[in-house]
Structure 1
Amino acid sequence: MANTKSAKKAVRQIARRTAINRQRRSKMRTFIRKVEEAISTGDQSAAKSALAAAEPILMRAAQKGIVHKNNASRKVSRLSSRVAALGKQA
């Protein structure tokens, strides 16, 4: 257990940052799930609007260090291609 003043402060800071990161990660996953659900229903307009809402959340998560920038870009790219594919099959 931390026994210096600075170590105790560091523990408090880490706990606060962990809680914030957990919220951001959860929000990111929720928005991704909304896009996935819209894709599974086959409604392209709903999927496009869900993707438009999810993209800034994903990129902000990358900016804040929740996920790597390339990871966020890859997720956006793959979701975009799946949404685009909905229009081709219909």
Structure 2
Amino acid sequence: MPAASARIEIYTTPWCPYCLAAKRLLTAKGVLFEETDVSGDPALRRAMTERAGGRTSVPQIFIDGAHVGGSDDIHALDDAGKLDLMLGRTG
């Protein structure tokens, strides 16, 4: 199945198990995503926090520019059958 047409951005740190879980889900879906490691750059972390409405934890995930939330949020969307639609996947 081809990659989704949605643009997926995920802010992470290397040691975060929730980041790994979210990336594992996206990889299992066969979609490409842009990963930004915020662990060593306070300016990137501030930009992420601003985009995420004040949320400071990682991961923070955006689909087509819309804030989805973190790992629990993206897994809940998947469990509810809504993630594939957001990713631009059909059938």
* The two structures share one fold, judged by TM-score above 0.5: no
- Structure number having the greater helix percentage: 1
Determine which structure has more spread, i.e. the larger CA radius of gyration. Answer: 1
- Structure number having the greater strand percentage: 2
What TM-score do you get using the length of structure 2 for normalisation? Answer: 0.28
What TM-score do you get using the length of structure 1 for normalisation? Answer: 0.28
